Amino acid sequence: MTRRVLFYVQHLLGIGHLRRVLRIVPHLARAGIAVTLVSGGEPLDEMHEAGAAHVVQLPPLRSPDATFKRLVDAAGRPVDAALWHARAAVLLDALTTASPDAVLFETYPFGRSKFWPEIDRLIAAARALRADTPLIASVRDIVVVGDKPQRRRDIVTRVRDGIDAVLVHGDPDFIPLEASFPETAAIADKLIYTGYVGDGETATGTDGFDGTGEVLVSAGGGAVGGHLLRTAIAARRAGCLAQLSWRVLAGPNLPEAEFAALAADLPERVALERYRRDFPALLRRCRVSVSQGGYNTTLDILAAGAAAVVVPFAGGDETEQALRITALAARGVVETVGEEQLSPQTLAAAIGCAAAHPPGRIALDCGGGARTAELVAALIDARANRARSVIAAANRQ
C-alpha cells in the first residue's frame, strides 16, 4: 500500500527552504511515498519539473525585505484577513484530498511564527482526520529563533504538545542543534539527525565543459545578493584573476532593475546569467567559487570540493550562515569575508587565497535525503503513538 504525506513549506525571501524540500521529495518518492507538496511562497518552476510530488500552491506570501517583519502578497500589498481565509481554504482542501498518513512541516515551529495560526488549523484538521497521524518537523542544521526566552519556550511547548518527531537535517558531530537552540535538551527525546540533504545522485547537468577554470559567482535566489554581485564584478574590473573567465549567476529573485544594471556594465570575459540548473557541475569545474553561505549552496560547494570564498548573509537577525561558514573556515575548508568587511579589495584578497591553496576537507554525513525517507516511512508504519520507539531506534544506530 502506498504511503502518503503532505509536506508544508513556506519560503519568504530566499528559496533555500523550498529547494531543500525539493531535494527530499525524490527520496520520498523512491521509498514509495506519495507526496502532496503545499507551498506558501512565490512559485518556483522547479516545483513542477521533477514530477515527484503533487504541488498545491497557496496564495503566495513573501517578506519584502530581510527584516521579515512584514508580509505582502504577490502584488506587494499588505496581507488582509481575506487572503488568510483563502489560504486556509486551499490548505484544508489539500489535506482532505491527500488524506495523508503523515504531515511534514518545514521549519515549524522553529520559525515562521506569523504562520503559526495557519499551521494550528492544519494540525487540528490532520488530527481530526486520524488522531494518530504522525506530525513531523523538518528543520535545517541551524535555526534562527532570536534571543527572547518566551519565544524559545513557546517553541518547546509546540514541539512537546503537537510534534511527534523533529528531523534535523544536519550532522551533530559538526554543528549540533543546541548551537543555535539552547533549549534542545527539552525536546531531545523527539530529535533525530538525518544527515545533511545534499543534491547527491539527483544532481543534473554533469556532462559538458561549461565553467571549466572559471571564477563562478553566485547569490542563491538573489533576493539579497546584489551587494555581493556588484562587489565581485568590481574586484574583477580592478584586475582580480582577470586572466580567467568569470560567470555571474544572479539568481531568479534579484530585482530586474539590478540585473539590468549589472548587464549594462560588465567587464570583458564576464558572463551574467540568472540561473543554471547544472550549478553543481559548474562548481566541480570552476577555479574558485564566490557565493553566500546558504544551506544548499554550502553543501554543493563541499560536494564539488571547490575552492571557495563565502560571504555569509547577515541581514536582519540572521545568524545561520555566519555560524555554519565560520565553522568551515576554522577547518580551512573555505575562505570567508564578513558582509561588514566586504569590499572589492577584501574580496579580491580572499579570492587570491582560495585560488592559491587547495581547500581543506571535512567529513560530513550527507545522506539526509534517503535517511529522511526511511524515517518518515518508519514513523508512518509505527503511527504517532509509537513514534518514540522509532526515534530511540534511530538514535541507537
Helices and strands per DSSP (H, E), number in the chain: 13, 15
What is the chain's pLDDT, residue by residue, as a tens digit (397 residues)?
A: 689 999 999 999 888 899 999 999 999 999 999 999 999 999 887 777 656 789 999 999 999 887 788 999 999 999 999 999 999 999 999 999 999 999 999 999 999 999 999 999 999 999 999 999 999 999 999 999 888 899 999 999 999 999 999 999 999 999 999 999 999 999 999 999 999 998 753 444 455 788 899 999 999 888 889 999 999 999 999 999 999 999 999 999 899 999 999 999 899 999 999 989 899 999 999 999 999 999 999 999 999 999 999 999 987 677 899 999 999 999 999 999 999 999 999 999 999 999 999 898 899 999 999 999 999 999 999 975 666 777 777 787 6
Q: Do 3-198+366-396 and 202-356 share a fold?
A: yes
**CB-CB contact of 31 with 378 (8 Å):** no
CATH code, 3-198+366-396: 3.40.50.2000
* Residue-range domain boundaries for the chain: 3-198+366-396, 202-356
d(C-alpha 79, C-alpha 327), whole Å: 38
Instruction: Please state which architecture CATH assigns to domain 202-356.
Output: 3-Layer(aba) Sandwich (3.40)
